[in-house]
Amino acid sequence: MDDSLRKEVREKLIRHLDNSYIIISIGDLREFIPELNELIKPKELNPGPTPKLIPPKKRKIVEDDEIIPLVELERRLIRAALEKTKGNVELAAFEMGISERNLYRKLQTYGINHNDYNDK
């Protein structure tokens, strides 16, 4: 939010409160929010040119005819995610669709050190 809009919102809020209107309930707040939304609503949206999307590299974790235990597949997936994110556990967990805490547990279980992937 730019300074002029912030100033305008502040002035509107002060003017609203100066009119002896005190927001003391959810109902009062619900009546006041639409006024602020109208004020804050962007005047004009100009997103500019659409960026070209580069498809991600496809990494082969498993060979076509290979049958491996699920534990080994998970280990390979974790390593691939850490390589892709250069050891960033938060991003790797996001990429895998699991929580960061869960990924840390799996790293400990499989004996994988995320710091080994920092320079790759």
67-84 pLDDT, tens digit each = 788 888 899 999 999 998
Q: Which CATH architecture has domain 70-117?
A: Orthogonal Bundle (1.10)
Q: Which residue did the predictor score with more confidence, 69 or 40?
A: 69
Predicted confidence at residue 99, as pLDDT, reads: 93
Does position 27 have pLDDT exceeding 90, yes or no? Answer: no
49-53, 55-59, 107-111: range with highest mean pLDDT = 107-111
Q: Contact 36/13 with Cβ under 8 angstroms?
A: yes
Q: Is the pTM of this model over 0.85?
A: no
Domain extents for the chain?
3-40, 70-117
